């Protein structure tokens, strides 16, 4: 039975005693933030990203629109909701692009990846009140260059670009 060190609205931190494949027992801290989605919206030859301030790293970064899944919500439902909330866009075409474990050494966080296209305006763009988001349109060809030059450093965005842009 894990020892719950922290329980928040969307995250739990647990201390567990685990038996490793070697047979040794060790204590481990596991962060359990729940499941999430990330979307790479494309409008022709343009990718729609967000520029968002992230306190944990103390800077503004370019990211794919993303968000956490609500209880009982399917990944594509979350993706549609987050795309509208963060960018004011809807997509007629959705393509699953797999999933990633963000940092499996200490968290069970999984992010479901999607490519979205055939974009149109969506009512209800309303980022959470603590989110500072700027929607940016970047030529798809430039996204790879921005990853290589360190302008894009967000892991989920890099994974989406590799999977969806090649």
User: Catalytic site residues?
Assistant: 129
Residue 50 dihedral angles phi and psi, to the nearest 5°: -120, 150
Sign of CA dihedral 52, 48, 162, 80: positive
Residue 95 dihedral angles phi and psi, to the nearest 5°: -130, 120
29-56: buried (b, 16+ CB within 10 Å) or exposed (e) per residue? ebbbbebbbbbbbbbeebbbbbebeeee
Strand-pairing partners, residue 40, are 115
């Amino acid at each position: 039975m894990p020892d719950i060190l922290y329980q928040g609205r969307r995250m739990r931190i647990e201390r567990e005693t685990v038996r490793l494949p070697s047979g040794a027992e060790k204590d481990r801290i596991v962060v359990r933030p729940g499941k999430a989605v990330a979307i790479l919206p494309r409008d022709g030859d343009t990718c729609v990203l967000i520029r968002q301030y992230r306190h944990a790293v103390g800077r503004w970064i370019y990211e794919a629109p993303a968000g956490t899944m609500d209880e009982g919500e399917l990944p594509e439902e979350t993706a549609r909701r987050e795309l509208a909330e963060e960018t004011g866009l809807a997509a007629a075409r959705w393509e699953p692009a797999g999933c990633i474990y963000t940092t499996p050494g200490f968290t069970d966080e999984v992010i479901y990846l999607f490519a979205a296209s055939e974009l149109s305006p969506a009512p209800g763009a309303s980022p959470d009140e603590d989110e500072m988001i700027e929607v940016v349109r970047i030529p798809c060809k430039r996204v790879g260059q921005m990853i290589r030059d360190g302008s894009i450093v967000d892991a989920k965005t890099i994974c989406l670009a590799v999977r969806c842009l090649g």
